[in-house]
C-alpha cells in the first residue's frame, strides 16, 4: 500500500510555555488514506492534529519549531493565508458543534463566506455535502429546521457535511465519535471509509478498536513523542516497539 | 479490566498446555499399549476420548469469549490465535491416540513380525517434537522448535520406509495383512502428528515474533 504524501512534518516541536508537548515529530500522511493517532491522554495527539490547520496559533503561549508541509508548501511560511489553509484542512471536533441555525445554513455558511452567493449553486453544494456525509436522506425534508433538533450522531454528520462544503483536501477529526452511541458511531465509521475516496482523513481516537477498524495507517504517541508509525495492521498485529505493544494490549494507559 | 483479561489469558494458556500434555500422553500410552499388546491400557486410553472432546470445547469456548469481550491486540491476539491452533492440533493428536488404542484388541490374535520395526523409533521422534512444541508454547521460547524442518523430514522418510516394508510383508505373507495394514495406519497417524507439531511450531513462531515461517 503506497500512496503519495499530502502532509509531512519534519522535526516538529511544540511548547506550551515550558512544556515540551510535541518532541521532534517527523511523519508523512498519505493522500486518500485514513491515518489514526492513538495514545494515552496528554500524549500530544490532539495537539499534533491541531498543528495541521494551525489551530494552535490561537493559543498565546504556544511556540512551534520545525516544518509542516501541505502539498510541499510550508504552512508556517510568511504569507500563508490561514483562512485558506483551514479551508483546505477542515476539522471535526469531539462534541458536535452545529451553529444555532438551520440545517441548510450550517452547510451553506462556509461556501458563502468563501464568496458563493448564487442560490442554485449553494443548494447544490448543500445537497452534495449532505449526501457525502450520509445525512441527506434523513434531513432532506427538514433542511430549514434548526440543526439543534437533530440527534447527536446526525449533528456530527452535519458538522462533517459543513466541513465538506468548502471542498477541503484533508479532514481532521478529533475524537469524532466519543460523544456518540454505537449505532451513530458505526455510521460515522462507515462514512470515514467512504470519505477517503476523495479526501485524506486524520483521526485522533482513544478507542483503539476504532483506530484499527477505520484507518490505513496508525501513529502511536506517548509523552509528546511519536513512538511508532506504520500500517494499521502491522501496528495492531505486530508492533515493533515495546511501548506500543504495552499500550495496545492494555498494559498501561 | 485489563488485569482480569491477562489473568484469564494466562490461565487459558496454562490449561491449553495441560490439554496438549494430556493429548500427548494419550498418543504415548496408546503406542505403549500397542507395542506391549496391553489391551487393558488400550481400553483405558480409549476411554479418555470424551474428556479430550469436552476439554477442547471448553477451551475453545473460553478463547472465543476472550475475543468477544476484550478484542485482544498484538501479542495477546497472537497468543489467542496460536492457542486456538494448539487446541485443534492437540485434539487431533489425542484422537490419533484413541484410534491407535482401538486397534490393540484387533491385533491381539494376529501374528507378530519377527523383525524389529522402525515404528517405535518413529514414535519417539514424533513424541519428541510434540514435547518440544509444548515447551516452546509454554515458555515462549523458539529454541526447542528450531530444527523442525529436518526432524519432520526424518519422520516423513520413516513413514515411506514403513509403508514400503509393510507392503513387502503383505506380499510375502498374506497372514500379516491385518497387522501390516494397521501398522501402516499407525505410521500414517504418527506422520500426521508430526505435521501437526510442525503446524503448532509455525504458530508458536508467529505468536512469539509476529512473523510467519513455513516448516516444510
Structure confidence by residue, pLDDT tens digits, A70-122: 999 999 999 999 999 999 999 999 999 999 999 999 999 999 999 999 999 99
Cβ-Cβ contacts under 8 Å for B158 (sequence gap 6 or more): B118, B121, B122, B125, B187, B191
Spatial contact of A21 and A29, defined as CB atoms under 8 Å apart: no
In sign, the C-alpha dihedral spanning A160, A163, A169, A171 is negative
Spatial contact of B34 and B186, defined as CB atoms under 8 Å apart: yes
| Domain assignment of residue B215, yes or no | no
- Residue keyed to cell 523442525: B148
Region of poorest pLDDT, from A191-200, B108-117, B132-141, B161-170: B108-117
The percent of residues in chain A predicted with pLDDT above 70, rounded, is 99
Strand ranges inside A93-205, DSSP E = 170-174, 200-204
A249 contacts B76? CB cut-off 8 A = yes
Cell of residue A105, nine digits: 445554513
B74 contacts A250? CB cut-off 8 A = no
B210 contacts A250? CB cut-off 8 A = no
Spatial contact of A228 and A49, defined as CB atoms under 8 Å apart: no
B210 contacts A248? CB cut-off 8 A = no
Residue A2 has pLDDT above 70, yes or no: no
- Residue keyed to cell 481516537: A205
A249 contacts B2? CB cut-off 8 A = yes
CA distance A249 to chain B (A): 6
Over residues A12-33, the mean pLDDT reads 97
pLDDT of residue A57: 87
**What DSSP element (H or E) covers B30?**
helix B2-35
Over residues B193-198, the mean pLDDT reads 98
CA distance A224 to chain B (A): 23
Instruction: State the Cα–Cα distance between residues A25 and A12, nearest whole angstrom.
Output: 5
Q: How many domains, chain B?
A: 1
Question: How does pLDDT run across B33-61, given as a tens digit for each residue?
Answer: 999 999 999 999 999 999 999 999 999 99
Interface contact A233, partner B, CB < 8 A: no
Size of interface A-B (CB pairs under 8 A): 35
Q: Which domain holds residue B80?
A: 2-209
Residue A196 has pLDDT above 60, yes or no: yes
- Calculate the CA B143 to chain-centre distance: 19
Q: Can you tell me whether residue A145 is helix, strand or coil?
A: coil
B74 contacts A249? CB cut-off 8 A = yes
Residue A205 has pLDDT above 90, yes or no: yes
The percent of residues in chain B predicted with pLDDT above 70, rounded, is 99
CA distance B160 to chain A (A): 39
Over residues A24-34, the mean pLDDT reads 97
Interface contact A52, partner B, CB < 8 A: no
Select from B2, B71, B210 the Cβ nearest to the Cβ of A237: B210
pLDDT of residue A165: 96
pLDDT of residue A14: 97
The CA-based dihedral angle spanning residues A111, A117, A119, A125, taken in that order and rounded to the nearest 10 degrees: -20
B75 contacts A249? CB cut-off 8 A = yes
B142: CATH? 1.20.58.220
A208 contacts B74? CB cut-off 8 A = no
| Domain assignment of residue B216, yes or no | no
Mutate to test the interface with B, among A208, A213, A236, A238 (most CBs of B within 10 A): A238
pLDDT of residue B114: 75
Q: Which residues of A touch B74 (CB under 8 A)?
A: 236-239, 244-245, 248-249
pLDDT of residue A251: 87
Instruction: State the Cα–Cα distance between residues B47 and B34, nearest whole angstrom.
Output: 16
Q: Can you tell me whether residue B177 is helix, strand or coil?
A: helix
In sign, the C-alpha dihedral spanning A74, A75, A79, A85 is positive
Residue B16 has pLDDT above 70, yes or no: yes
| Domain assignment of residue B17, yes or no | yes
B2 contacts A238? CB cut-off 8 A = no
Instruction: State the Cα–Cα distance between residues A87 and A166, nearest whole angstrom.
Output: 6
The residues in A 91-150 lying below 8 A from B, measured between CB atoms, are none
A237 contacts B77? CB cut-off 8 A = yes
| Domain assignment of residue B202, yes or no | yes
Over residues A231-237, the mean pLDDT reads 96
Select from B5, B209, B211 the Cβ nearest to the Cβ of A250: B5
| Domain assignment of residue B214, yes or no | no
* Residue B116's pLDDT band (cuts 50, 70, 90): confident
Query: Which chain A residue's Cα is nearest to B212?
Result: A238
Cell of residue B17, nine digits: 498446555
Q: Can you tell me whether residue A8 is helix, strand or coil?
A: strand
Domains of chain A, each with CATH number or no CATH: 5-248 (3.40.50.300)
The residues in A 166-225 lying below 8 A from B, measured between CB atoms, are 208-209, 212
Residue A1 has pLDDT above 60, yes or no: no
pLDDT of residue B3: 86
Residue B161, classified by CB atoms within 10 Å of its CB into exposed (0-12), middle (13-18) or buried (19+), is middle
Cβ-Cβ contacts under 8 Å for B211 (sequence gap 6 or more): A238, B205
Q: What is the 3-state secondary structure (H, E, C) of B48-117?
A: CHHHHHHHHHHHHHHHHHHHHHHCCCHHHHHHHHHHHHHHHHHHHHHHHHHHHHHHHHHHCCCCCCCCCC
**What DSSP element (H or E) covers A218?**
strand A217-222
Mean pLDDT across chain B? 96
Cβ-Cβ contacts under 8 Å for A109 (sequence gap 6 or more): A99, A101, A162, A165
Sheet containing A170-174, strands listed edge to edge, beginning at the edge strand earlier in sequence: A89-92, A170-174, A200-204, A34-38, A217-222, A225-231
Complex ipTM value: 0.76
B74 contacts A239? CB cut-off 8 A = yes
Closest CA to B113 of B45, B162, B159, B160: B162
Instruction: State the Cα–Cα distance between residues B105 and B83, nearest whole angstrom.
Output: 35
Instruction: State the Cα–Cα distance between residues B136 and A11, nearest whole angstrom.
Output: 43
Residue B1 has pLDDT above 70, yes or no: no
Complete DSSP assignment for B132-168: HHHHHHHHT-SGGGTTHHHHHHHHHHHHHHHHHHHHH
CA distance B134 to chain A (A): 23
A245 contacts B75? CB cut-off 8 A = yes
Amino acid at each position: 500500500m503506497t500512496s503519495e504524501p499530502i502532509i509531512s512534518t519534519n522535526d516538529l516541536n511544540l511548547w506550551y510555555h515550558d512544556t515540551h508537548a510535541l518532541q521532534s515529530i517527523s511523519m508523512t500522511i498519505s493522500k486518500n488514506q485514513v491515518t489514526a493517532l492513538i495514545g494515552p491522554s496528554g500524549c500530544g495527539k490532539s495537539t499534533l492534529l491541531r498543528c495541521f490547520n494551525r489551530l494552535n496559533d490561537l493559543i498565546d503561549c504556544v511556540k512551534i519549531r520545525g516544518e509542516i508541509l501541505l502539498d510541499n508548501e510550508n504552512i508556517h511560511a510568511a504569507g500563508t493565508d490561514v483562512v485558506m489553509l483551514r479551508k483546505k484542512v477542515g476539522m471535526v471536533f469531539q462534541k458536535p458543534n452545529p451553529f444555532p441555525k438551520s440545517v441548510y445554513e450550517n452547510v451553506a455558511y462556509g461556501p458563502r463566506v468563501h464568496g458563493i452567493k448564487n442560490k442554485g449553486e449553494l443548494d447544490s453544494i448543500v445537497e452534495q455535502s449532505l449526501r457525502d456525509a450520509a445525512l441527506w436522506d434523513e434531513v432532506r425534508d427538514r433542511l430549514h429546521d434548526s440543526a439543534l433538533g437533530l440527534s447527536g450522531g446526525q449533528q456530527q454528520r452535519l458538522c462533517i457535511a459543513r466541513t465538506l462544503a468548502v471542498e477541503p483536501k484533508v479532514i481532521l477529526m478529533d475524537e469524532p465519535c466519543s460523544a456518540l452511541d454505537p449505532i451513530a458511531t458505526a455510521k460515522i465509521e462507515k462514512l470515514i471509509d467512504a470519505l477517503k475516496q476523495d479526501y485524506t482523513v486524520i483521526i485522533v481516537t482513544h478507542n483503539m478498536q476504532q483506530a484499527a477498524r477505520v484507518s490505513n495507517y496508525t501513529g502511536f504517541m506517548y509523552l509528546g513523542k511519536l513512538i511508532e508509525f506504520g500500517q494499521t495492521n502491522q501496528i495492531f498485529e505486530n508492533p515493533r516497539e515495546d511501548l506500543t505493544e504495552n499500550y495496545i494490549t492494555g498494559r498501561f494507559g | 479490566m485489563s488485569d482480569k483479561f491477562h489473568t484469564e489469558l494466562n490461565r487459558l494458556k496454562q490449561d491449553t498446555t495441560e490439554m496438549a500434555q494430556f493429548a500427548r500422553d494419550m498418543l504415548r500410552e496408546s503406542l505403549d499399549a500397542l507395542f506391549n499388546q496391553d489391551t487393558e491400557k488400550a481400553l483405558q486410553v480409549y476411554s479418555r476420548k470424551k474428556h479430550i472432546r469436552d476439554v477442547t470445547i471448553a477451551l475453545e469456548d473460553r478463547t472465543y469469549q476472550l475475543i468477544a469481550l476484550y478484542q485482544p491486540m498484538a501479542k495477546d491476539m497472537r497468543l489467542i490465535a496460536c492457542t486456538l491452533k494448539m487446541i485443534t492440533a492437540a485434539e487431533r493428536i489425542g484422537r490419533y491416540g484413541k484410534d491407535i488404542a482401538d486397534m490393540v484388541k484387533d491385533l491381539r490374535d494376529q501374528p507378530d513380525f519377527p523383525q524389529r520395526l522402525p515404528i517405535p523409533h518413529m514414535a519417539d521422534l514424533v513424541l519428541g517434537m510434540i514435547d518440544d512444541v509444548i515447551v516452546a508454547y509454554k515458555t515462549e521460547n523458539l529454541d526447542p522448535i528450531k530444527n523442525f524442518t529436518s526432524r519432520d523430514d526424518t519422520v516423513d522418510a520413516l513413514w515411506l520406509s514403513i509403508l514400503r516394508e509393510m507392503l513387502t510383508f503383505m506380499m510375502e505373507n498374506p497372514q500379516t495383512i491385518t497387522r501390516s495394514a494397521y501398522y501402516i495406519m499407525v505410521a500414517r497417524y504418527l506422520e500426521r502428528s508430526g505435521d501437526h507439531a510442525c503446524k503448532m511450531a509455525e504458530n508458536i513462531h508467529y505468536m512469539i515474533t509476529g512473523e510467519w515461517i513455513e516448516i516444510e
